[in-house]
Amino acid sequence: MADFVPRDKKHAVVYQIYIRSFCDSNGDGIGDLPGITSKLDYLAKLGIDYLWITPFYPSPMRDNGYDISDYTAVDPTYGTMDDFDELVAEAKKRHIGIMLDMVLCHTSRDHPWFQKAIAGDKEYQQYYFLKDGCNSKGPGDPGEPPTNWKAAFGGSAWEWEPHIGKWYLHLHDVSQPDLNWDNSKIRKEVENVVLFWKKRGVAGFRFDVINFVSKPAKFVDDTEGAGRPLFADGPHIHEYLQELVSTTGIDGMLTVGEMASTTLDNCIKYSNPDNHELAETFSFHHLKVDYANGDKWALKEADIAKLRGILYTWQRGMQEGGGWNALFWDNHDQPRAVTRFGGRAGEGEPNSDWEHVGKMLATTSFFLEGTPYIYEGDELGMTNAHYAKIDQYNDVESLNFYQILLKKGETEDEALHVLSERSRDNGRTPMQWSDGHAAGFTTGKPWLASPANYTSINAEAEVDKPGSIFEYYRNLVHLRHELEVLATGKVTCYEPGDEAPKVLLFERQIGDIRVVVTTSFDQKPCTVDASKLNVGELEPLVFNYKEAPQIQGDGTIALKPYEACAWITKGALNK
pLDDT digits (tens, 9 = 90+) for 303-333: 999 999 999 999 999 999 999 999 999 999 9
What is the average per-residue pLDDT within 257-269?
A: 96
Report yes or no: 134 and 143 within 8 Å, Cβ to Cβ.
Answer: yes
The DSSP element (H or E) to which 348 belongs, if any, is none
Chain-centre distance for alpha carbon 105: 17
Q: Output the pLDDT for position 348.
A: 42
Instruction: State how far the Cα of 399 lies from the Cα of 463, in Å rounded to an integer.
Output: 36
The residues with which 106 forms a beta bridge, in sequence order, are 178
- The arithmetic mean of pLDDT across residues 229-247, rounded, is 96
Structure-model confidence comparison of residues 565 and 575, the more confident one: 565
Question: Residue 347 pLDDT > 50, yes or no?
Answer: no
Angle at 19 between CA 17 and CA 25, to 5 degrees: 120
What's the distance, Cα to Cα, between the start and end of the chain in Å? 31
Q: Is the pLDDT of residue 346 over 90?
A: no
Residue 4 has a pLDDT of 78
258 is catalytic: yes
Q: Which of 258, 290, 379, 397 is catalytic?
A: 258
SS3 197: helix
Instruction: Output the pTM of the full model.
Output: 0.95
Integer Cα distance of 187 and 566 in angstroms: 46
| Pairing mode, strands 158-161 and 204-207 | unpaired
Q: What is the mean pLDDT of residues 30-42?
A: 98
Lowest mean pLDDT among 171-175, 200-204, 259-263, 349-353: 349-353
So what's the pLDDT on residue 353? Answer: 85
pLDDT band at 343, cuts 50/70/90?
low
d(CA 548, CA 466): 16
What is the arithmetic mean of pLDDT over 458-462? 97
From the list 208, 277, 280, 379, the catalytic residue is 208
Catalytic residue flag (residue 471)? no
The 8-class DSSP code of residue 128 comes to: B
Q: What is the DSSP letter of 240?
A: H
Range 287-303 average pLDDT: 94
Q: Is 526 helix (H, G, I), strand (E, B) or coil?
A: strand
Q: Could you tell me which of 367, 326, 549, 328 has the C-alpha nearest to residue 475?
A: 367
Q: Is the pLDDT of residue 443 over 90?
A: yes
Residue 435 gets which letter from DSSP?
S
- For residues 174-184, give the mean pLDDT: 98
Could you tell me which of 306, 285, 281 has the C-alpha nearest to residue 504? 306
| pLDDT value for 211 | 97
Cα(156)–Cα(134) distance, rounded to whole angstroms? 14
Listed residue (460, 409, 410, 411) closest to 435, CA to CA: 460
Q: What is the maximum span of the chain, computed from C-alpha positions, in angstroms?
A: 81
C-beta separation of 472 from 462 below 8 A? no
Grade residue 141 by pLDDT with cuts at 50, 70 and 90.
confident
Evaluate whether 371 touches 14 at the Cβ level (below 8 Å): yes
Q: What is the 3-class SS of 247-279, one letter each residue?
A: HHCCCCCEEEEECCCCCHHHHHHHHCHHHCCCC
Helix, coil or strand: residue 454:
helix
Strand (E) or helix (H) holding 362: helix 352-367
pLDDT at 345 over 80: no
Of 210, 219, 196, 273, residue with least CA distance to 241: 210
Nearest to 367 by CA among 281, 471, 470, 487: 487
Residue 503 has pLDDT above 60, yes or no: yes
